[in-house]
A and B are shown apart, each in its own frame.
Chain A
Amino acid sequence: MTTTQAQATPDVRRPVAAAGTRHTLGRVLATLARSIAIFVPVFLVATFVTFALRSLSGLSPARIQLGEDATPEAIARVEAQWGLDRPFLVQYGDWFNGVLHGQLGTSWTNGADISTLIGLGLGVSLSVATFALLIGVVVGFALGTVAALRRTTWIDRAITGFVTAISVMPAFVVGIVLVAVLAVQLKLFPSAGYIPAEQGLGPWLAHITLPAVALSFDVVADVARQLRSSLVAAYRENYVTGAVVRGLGPRRVFFCHVLRNGLGPALATLGLKFPSLVGASVVTEWIFGLQGFGRFANDSAQAGDVPAVQGVLVVSIVLVVVFNLFVNLVLARVTPASQRGV
């Protein structure tokens, strides 16, 4: 999102002691308002494109239900039944209204409620994606921080090399290798399937670990690289030299001066990575035999079930937008002092 570049709130300097909390609250609210102002058009355009897919594809429920050799009258009857004979914009308005109320329509192939179908798969996908993000953030932060603290040494070079190596491995290639080595050869992990967390934390983790690791490589690489370069840049700033000269310990310099100022770009990358994480779930869920949201998207797309595909896309857009809103709020929280106007 471009918003991440523009979180600076040029608030006026106030008597800090009195208005500290109010100041923070105001800043968070301003960020929230600005982010929402940007995401609302994004959401509108994205849903419009999604809805236009049906008209562009020329697919119709009649083909799926009646087969190829249906009479034009029968096709017209089925289309009228689904409300497809109305003007495009009326259909869009109706559908969009449903989306706002959480109703994504019914599937063309089996008439089931799409919101329910997606809800079934979402738990699987979100477990995997959250775990992948967690791995990505923890490992990426560790690698990036260590590389920045030991910059220009062999440790730094080794980490940079490792990060470059894993950044070129597509999630599905990693997934296949993990299945082949860890699941099929060494039998350390189950190779496919999913067990909900309610049936035991251990099996649940065992089933989502491999897909999450496969998805996390990209995140690890990007977070580590971004964090390393921004931390190194922060170490060169005058205020860090000033802090060292004032006799502050290395730990305090790192946490109070360097990390806080260098965190922004890495967090912003996280916001940008999320859509590709959601997208890559299509492939990883296929490899690991998970009945998640990406698998549902793939299956219904190949079956030509347009409302289901639209539903999946809307849910993914909502996920991305909500996640980026969250990232923006965190970014506003860690904004460098120079931009906060403290």
Chain B
Amino acid sequence: MIRRVLALPSGRIAVVVLAVIAVLAVFGPLLAPQDPLATSDNTLAAASGAHWLGTDYLGRDVLSRLLDGSRVSVLGSLEVALTALVVGVVPGILSVYLGRAFEWITLRLADTLVALPFLLFAVAVVALLGNGITQAMLVTGVLVSPLFYRVSRAATLAVARSQYVEAAIVSGASLGRVVRRHVWVKVLPPIAVALAQTVGVGFVIVSSLTFLGIGVQPPAPTWGGLLASDLGYLSHRPWAPLTPALLIVVTVWACNLLADAIRDVSGEAGRALLNNRRARANRLDKADPAPAGGAS
């Protein structure tokens, strides 16, 4: 599936952008040319050779703060996505198999979580349960998990009603084997789409929370925090919010692009067939052309 995503131009762009962001997250604090916390007298300076993106209201180098803050933002959004994945997918798949009572309860819970305005709730929970980005992200992950629940449940339902699964059950395959061998393969592509989308959503949430100053200790830099501090000095440095804003937008865009690319190659959208054919024509030597997720 990864190779087929890379065969699409949009998939390649998305992967490259996300890879750059990942490099920033891993090596950002090391790449920072100056100490992101060191203040100086040179406050609110414009971009120059010494400070590529200028300095903020305490004279701290903006580029260094941007690079240093990338780790929190990226880790936070990954935490959101992975929490949502675990909390959503497991009951989603099980709801098809574990009987009506479990199904009803999980459906009502998913309805409830969807109805909660999650940013408001995240703000409330984080502020009340202690200030820490990890708690914030775990809670947010639970709040956005209905997406995974729905997606995995819908995909599992489609598979569970298909004839080859019935055939496997009739011929005596155990539940575990059916889930591992048939359900998992079909459910994976839609979950991958949801995961890519959720990383984007998580990114927006982390940025929003850090923008409000929730979940981080003040001097530590984050992308959202940079935006917040720039907002107070718009008349001095009107273009300052542009870089963190662009970084956030580009990352979210790359996540959505990746989600679209996965959806295209896994045969969910109408364009899938066409893209698949083109992708296959490009790589005739590939051994395994089995399309993934055709049923969904």
Residues in A lying within 8 Å of B, measured CB to CB: 1-2, 38, 41-42, 45-46, 49, 53-54, 56-57, 59, 164-165, 167-170, 172-173, 176-177, 179-180, 184-185, 272, 275-283, 286-287, 294, 297-298, 301-302, 304, 306, 309, 312-313, 316-317, 320-321, 324
**Is the CB of B33 closer than 8 A to any CB of chain A?**
no
The 8 Å CB contact of B253, one of A168, A172, A282, A320, is: A168
**Is the CB of B123 closer than 8 A to any CB of chain A?**
yes
B109 and A170: CB pair below 8 A?
A: no
**Is the CB of B67 closer than 8 A to any CB of chain A?**
no
CB contact under 8 A between A164 and B256, given known A180-B234, A297-B124, A316-B120: yes
B204 to chain A: closest residue by CB: A170
**Is the CB of B235 closer than 8 A to any CB of chain A?**
yes
**Is the CB of B108 closer than 8 A to any CB of chain A?**
yes
Chain B residues with Cβ below 8 Å from A179 are 231, 234
B120 and A173: CB pair below 8 A?
A: no
The 8 Å CB contact of A275, one of B114, B125, B238, is: B114
Q: How many A-B residue pairs have CB under 8 A?
A: 148
C-alpha gap A294/B121 in the complex (Å): 11
Chain B residues with Cβ below 8 Å from A304 are 127-128
B214 and A302: CB pair below 8 A?
A: yes
Chain A nearest CB: distance from B23 CB in Å? 21
B241 to chain A: closest residue by CB: A176
Residue contacts A-B, CB under 8 angstroms, 14 given: A38-B108, A46-B112, A49-B112, A167-B256, A170-B208, A172-B224, A177-B245, A275-B118, A282-B123, A282-B208, A283-B208, A298-B127, A320-B115, A321-B115
The number of chain B residues touching the other chain, given as a range, is 35 or more
C-alpha gap A283/B245 in the complex (Å): 14
CB contact under 8 A between A306 and B238, given known A2-B107, A172-B211, A283-B212: no
Contacts beyond the supplied A57-B130, A177-B241, A320-B117: 17 A-B pairs with Cβ under 8 Å: A2-B110, A38-B108, A38-B111, A41-B111, A42-B111, A45-B108, A57-B129, A167-B256, A170-B252, A185-B238, A275-B115, A281-B120, A301-B124, A302-B214, A316-B117, A320-B115, A320-B116
Chain A residues with Cβ below 8 Å from B124 are 53, 297, 301, 309, 312-313
Chain A residues with Cβ below 8 Å from B208 are 170, 172, 280, 282-283
B238 and A276: CB pair below 8 A?
A: no
Chain A residues with Cβ below 8 Å from B230 are 176
Q: Counting chain A CB atoms within 10 Å of each CB, which of B118, B119, B252 scores highest?
A: B119
Interface bits B238-267 vs A (CB < 8 Å: 1, else 0): 110100010011001100100000000000
Chain B nearest CB: distance from A224 CB in Å? 15
A313 and B256: CB pair below 8 A?
A: no
A169 and B234: CB pair below 8 A?
A: no
Chain A nearest CB: distance from B57 CB in Å? 16
C-alpha gap A215/B129 in the complex (Å): 28
CB contact under 8 A between A46 and B115, given known A41-B108, A170-B248, A283-B208: yes
**Is the CB of B207 closer than 8 A to any CB of chain A?**
yes
The 8 Å CB contact of B231, one of A56, A165, A287, A297, is: A287
Residues in B lying within 8 Å of A, measured CB to CB: 107-112, 114-130, 200, 204, 207-208, 211-212, 214, 224, 227, 230-231, 234-235, 238-239, 241, 245, 248-249, 252-253, 256
Chain A residues with Cβ below 8 Å from B108 are 38, 41-42, 45
Chain A nearest CB: distance from B252 CB in Å? 4
Chain B nearest CB: distance from A320 CB in Å? 5
Chain B nearest CB: distance from A326 CB in Å? 14
Chain A residues with Cβ below 8 Å from B234 are 179-180, 184
Chain A residues with Cβ below 8 Å from B128 are 53-54, 56-57, 59, 301, 304, 306, 309
A53 to chain B: closest residue by CB: B128
C-alpha gap A93/B241 in the complex (Å): 48
CB contact under 8 A between A172 and B120, given known A42-B108, A53-B128: no
C-alpha gap A1/B227 in the complex (Å): 34
The 8 Å CB contact of A276, one of B110, B119, B123, B256, is: B119
B125 and A172: CB pair below 8 A?
A: no
B241 and A282: CB pair below 8 A?
A: no
C-alpha gap A191/B141 in the complex (Å): 33
B212 and A286: CB pair below 8 A?
A: yes
A272 and B116: CB pair below 8 A?
A: no
A42 and B241: CB pair below 8 A?
A: no
B130 to chain A: closest residue by CB: A57
B212 and A168: CB pair below 8 A?
A: no
A301 and B241: CB pair below 8 A?
A: no
Chain A nearest CB: distance from B211 CB in Å? 6
B114 and A272: CB pair below 8 A?
A: yes
CB contact under 8 A between A2 and B207, given known A286-B212, A294-B120: no
Chain A nearest CB: distance from B151 CB in Å? 13
B120 and A42: CB pair below 8 A?
A: no
C-alpha gap A191/B72 in the complex (Å): 30
The 8 Å CB contact of B117, one of A176, A279, A309, A324, is: A279
A312 and B127: CB pair below 8 A?
A: no
C-alpha gap A204/B227 in the complex (Å): 27
C-alpha gap A185/B122 in the complex (Å): 33
